[in-house]
Amino acid sequence: MTPPNQTVFVAWHAEQPMPRWAAVARLDCLYSELGDRRFRFSYTEGARSIEGFRPLDGMEDLHQVYESTSLFPVFKNRLLPASRPEFRQFLEWNGFDPDDPPEPLLLLGRSEGIRKTDAIEVFPKPVPDSQGCFVNFFFVHGIRFQPTAAERISHLHPGDSLTVRQEPENPIDPHAIALEANGSMLGYTPRYLARDIERLLSQCPAETVRVVVQQVNLDAPLQQRLLCRMNACWPAGFQPCDTVDYQPISSLVPR
């Protein structure tokens, strides 16, 4: 069976002089009927709209579509090499079986491809599961800004339900989605999910929208401490990641 095509988006963010964030590119893994794999990289409208963004090394033309039979170096370098002794632990932190490593785009999207040396973040485009429902795995963001979050997380267990709370009066991001456990603030869903979650909360029956603890990584850095799973309905006509920033600049890439 030919594997399904996969898509991750690339976001760029900056904190100075004021916080700003936008999807600036997309990376597709495409399979032929024979199972041959190729990667396609293209910039999105967010790359033209957000102030201060600079194209990625080796892919400076915003209008060009780049293709390769292997993962582009700028993304390969965001994955821990399999030869590293901590690679198995890295897979476990991200919820994967070390004896059955995932495809590179799956790992890249789950781990978010974050490096301390730049402002790039990678995340998967949500797709419906085999039951036609919304399922997404993500790490809780902003734990370090909550004084008691790390201690509270240490007492959580897989399957524990978290409270999802919208923050329309948040001065930094009115679309922010907060996560709580028994009234204690833990952090936020990733920004790339927030607007889609808003829509799901308004369009899905309340009982179908759930965020639960997938696993707690006590020995991991805070950005990979709490892995969650979100389940929801997939409303008729729902298209995730469909704002202008996500639209490809090149007409050669399907919208």
Please report whether residue 24 resides in a domain: yes
* CA 65 to the chain's CA centroid: 22
Residue type for position 150 = A
Question: What pLDDT sits at residue 14?
Answer: 76
Are residues 224 and 173 in contact, defined by beta-carbon separation less than 8 angstroms?
no
Question: What pLDDT sits at residue 106?
Answer: 95
Please report whether residue 255 resides in a domain: no
Same domain as 121, residue 169: no
Question: What pLDDT sits at residue 13?
Answer: 87
Give residue 157's domain range: 129-239
Q: Rounded to an integer, what distance in angstroms lies between the CA atom of residue 15 and that of residue 96?
A: 32
Tokens of 107: 């790992």
Residue 16 per-residue DSSP state: S
Question: What pLDDT sits at residue 34?
Answer: 86
Q: Rounded to an integer, what distance in angstroms lies between the CA atom of residue 208 and that of residue 138?
A: 18
Same domain as 170, residue 102: no
Same domain as 84, residue 30: yes
The mean pLDDT values, 10 residues at a time, for the chain of 255 residues are 88 77 96 92 96 93 97 95 95 97 95 86 95 97 96 98 97 95 97 96 96 98 97 97 96 86
Tokens of 219: 């020995």
Same domain as 78, residue 169: no
Question: What pLDDT sits at residue 146?
Answer: 96
Please report whether residue 248 resides in a domain: no
Same domain as 173, residue 121: no
Same domain as 102, residue 140: no
* Burial degree of 63 (CB within 10 A; 0-12, 13-18, 19+): exposed
Question: What pLDDT sits at residue 42?
Answer: 98
How many domains does one find in the chain? 2
Same domain as 166, residue 63: no
Same domain as 116, residue 39: yes
What are the angstrom distances between the C-alpha of 142 and each of 13, 147, 149, 191? 15, 11, 9, 11
Q: Rounded to an integer, what distance in angstroms lies between the CA atom of residue 65 and that of residue 251?
A: 10
Question: What pLDDT sits at residue 243?
Answer: 94
Same domain as 30, residue 100: yes
What are the angstrom distances between the C-alpha of 110 and each of 51, 186, 221? 27, 19, 15
Are residues 223 and 240 in contact, defined by beta-carbon separation less than 8 angstroms?
no
Same domain as 105, residue 135: no
Same domain as 150, residue 112: no
Question: What pLDDT sits at residue 222?
Answer: 95
Please report whether residue 102 resides in a domain: yes
Tokens of 5: 């095509």
Q: Which CATH number goes with the domain that contains 138?
A: 3.30.70.2330
Same domain as 108, residue 7: yes
Cβ neighbours for 193, distance < 8 A, ≥ 6 positions apart = 123, 136, 138, 177, 230
Are residues 230 and 211 in contact, defined by beta-carbon separation less than 8 angstroms?
yes
